Amino acid sequence: MRVLLDTSTFLFALESPGRLSAAARRVFSKSSFERELSVISFVEIAIKRESGKFTFTRDDVRKGINDLELRVLPISEEHAMRMFELPALHPDPFDRQLIAQALAEDIPIVTCDEAFERYRGLKVIW
């Protein structure tokens, strides 16, 4: 089963796996899950690194992708167009883009952010 990781879930898995829920830990421990990280998360980490919120470097992200055996999900025209019909129920623009991707791909997203659950049709794992 394909799943999309929220940026926070990716960082938790690398820095403090104890913060992951039991359901999220299963996503990382079972080979039946095809874990994906969006390129949107790369942009979010880079921008938040510049503002001092994150310390992750490009090399840290690459190593994390390899260590966690993730596939990279590029952003497509369909993902971007989905933003036009997405209600503004979440204030974070990066999270809204991840939500649009998960909806367009029809895959669950692994996140601790309760605001994601406001989106009709979005499957959340936590």
* C-alpha pair distances (Å), 8 with each of 21, 78, 81, 82, 85: 13, 24, 24, 22, 25
Q: What is the pLDDT of residue 115?
A: 96
Q: What is the pLDDT of residue 50?
A: 94
Q: How confident is the model at residue 56 (pLDDT cuts 50, 70, 90)?
A: very high
Burial environment of residue 26 by CB neighbours within 10 A (0 to 12, 13 to 18, 19 or more): middle
Phi, psi dihedral angles at 10 (to 5 degrees)? -60, -50
Burial environment of residue 10 by CB neighbours within 10 A (0 to 12, 13 to 18, 19 or more): buried
Tokens of residue 18, six digits? 């104890």
90: nearest Cα among 121, 113, 124: 113
High-pLDDT (> 90) share of the chain, %: 99
Domains of the chain: 2-125 (3.40.50.1010)
Mean pLDDT computed over every residue of the chain = 97
Q: What is the pLDDT of residue 12?
A: 97
